Amino acid sequence: MPSNDKITDIINRAYETYKDLDRGKLADYIPELGKADIKNFGISVTTVKGETISVGNADTMFSIQSISKPFVFGMALEGHGTAHVRSRVGVEPTGEPFHSIIRLQAKSKRPSNPLVNAGAIAMTDLVNGNSHEERIQNLQSALAKYTGRPLDMDESVYLSEKATGHRNRATAHLMLHFGMVEPRIDETTDLYFRQCSYKITSDDLSVMAATLANNGINPKSQDRALLSEHVKSLLTLMFTCGLYTYAGEWAFRVGIPAKSGVSGGILGVVPGVMGIGVYSPLVDKHGNSVRGIRVFKNLATELGLHMFSHSIRKSP
Ligand code: GLN
C-alpha cells in the first residue's frame, strides 16, 4: 500500500506534466458535451481506508456517461441473478466502437457485452421498478451508494442526448426485434439517457472505484453498494472491455479494471488498494480522455499497479 505522501507526490507531478497537453477533441456528437472547458483536469485517488487525495479540478462536475455502465450491470446482476443477465448480454470484447449497432451475437442475438451501448441499454432495461419514476429512483439511489452522496442530473446534457440519440434508439429497436429487451423502449432509452447524465466529479469517480476496490463497500460511508459476489463480474468486464477499442492496449500497458466515458472521465480500480478517478474532457479517437490515459500510465508505472505485477499488493 503506497503512502499518502507518495500518492500526493505522484499525482501532483502527473498534473503538472499533462495540464498543458491539448491533444484530442471534445465529444460533440452529444452537442452539449461540445461546450466543456478543455482546461478542466482533475486527478483523485481514494484509498480503501476512505481517504481521498486529489489535485486540480477535482470537484468540477461533468456527466458520468459510459462510466455508469458497469454499475448498472451490477444492478442487473443483483436484481435478476447472473443466469438471467447472461441470457441478455455476452461478455466478449467487440473490437467495434462503443455505439456500433452491427454486432449482436450471431446465434444468441445478445449484445456482446454490457459496456458497449447495446449491452448497456439491455442492462438498463433490467432496472426494476413498478413505474418509470420508480425505475429512475432505483437507478439513482443505486449509483448514489457508490458516490456516498445524492446525485443530480445535468438537465442540458440529458436533453441534448435525448434529442439526438437516434442511434441508441435504433439499437434498442433492433434488440426489441430480437426479443432482448422489453417493449417499453421509450422509457428504457429515456432511463439510459438519464443514467448517462448524472453529474459527478473526479473525487466521486475515485470513491466509486474505491468501493469496488473495497469489495463492494463504500469506504467512506461503510454502506454496501454491491454484493461482493458480483464485484468480480464487474471488474472482469471492466478489465476486458472498459476502454472501448483501446481495451487490449490498456490491459497490456496499465493493467487494471477501468471504465471511461466520452465526457472525459476514467475510473480505475486497484483491488484491495485504491480507486482512481481522472477527468479531462479532450478525448482521443477511441473516446478515451487523452490526459486521463497518460495519468493512468504514469500511475501504473510509478506505483506498479498492473494486476499481474503484484508489487503493490505485496508491500505491507
Ligand atoms: N451517452 C453516451 C452514448 O450513449 C455514452 C457513450 C460513452 O460514454 N461512450 O453515446
Q: Kindly state if the Cβ of 121 falls inside 6 Å of ligand 1.
A: no
Cβ of 212 below 6 Å from ligand 1: no
Residues in a beta bridge with 15: none
Question: Could you tell me the distance, in angstroms and rounded to a whole number, from the CA of residue 262 to the centre of ligand 1?
Answer: 6
What pLDDT digit, counting tens, does each position of 261-290 carry?
A: 999 999 999 999 999 999 999 999 999 999
Distance 140 CA to ligand 1 centre (A): 18
Question: Does the beta carbon of 65 lie inside 6 Å of ligand 1?
Answer: yes
Residue 262 Cβ inside 6 Å of ligand 1? The answer reads yes
- Average pLDDT score, the chain: 94
DSSP run (H or E) holding 54? strand 52-56
Instruction: For residue 14, give the C-alpha cell.
Output: 502527473
Confirm or reject: Cβ of 189 under 6 Å from ligand 1: no
Q: How far is the CA of 31 from the centre of ligand 1 (A)?
A: 12
Q: Which residues lie closer than 8 Å to 166 by C-beta, 6 or more apart?
A: none
> In terms of DSSP H, where are the helices of the chain?
4-18, 69-80, 82-88, 117-125, 132-147, 155-164, 166-177, 185-196, 202-213, 228-241, 247-253, 290-303, 311-314
Angle separating helix axes 166-177 and 117-125, nearest 10 degrees: 70
Interval between CA 65 and ligand 1 midpoint (Å): 5
Round to whole Å and give the CA distance between 45 and 118: 31
Task: List active site positions.
Answer: 66, 69, 192, 244, 262
- Of the candidates 245, 256, 251, 173, the residue with the CA atom closest to the CA atom of residue 212: 256
229 alpha-carbon distance from chain centroid? 19
Helix (H, G, I), strand (E, B) or coil at 10: helix
Ligand 1, atom 10: nearest CA belongs to which residue?
A: 99
Per-residue pLDDT reduced to its tens digit, 18-65: 999 999 999 999 999 999 999 999 999 999 999 999 999 999 999 999
Backbone region of residue 84 per phi and psi (left: phi > 0; alpha: psi in -120 to 50; beta: other values): alpha
Q: Please report the atom of ligand 1 found closest to the CA of residue 261.
A: 8
3-state secondary structure of 282: coil
Q: Write the CA distances from 28 to 19, 37, 101, 164, integer angstroms.
A: 21, 13, 19, 11
pLDDT (0 to 100) of residue 313: 58
Q: What ligand 1 atom has the least distance to the C-alpha of 193?
A: 1
Contact between residue 238 and residue 115 where contact means Cβ atoms under 8 Å apart: yes
pLDDT of residue 314: 56
266 — phi, psi (to 5°)?
A: -135, 135
Per-residue model confidence (pLDDT) at position 77:
98
Whole-number Å distance between alpha carbons of 262 and 296:
17
So what's the pLDDT on residue 304? 93
Residue 35 DSSP class? G
Asked whether 168 lines ligand 1 (CB < 6 A), one says yes
Residue ranges of the chain whose pLDDT lies below 50: 316
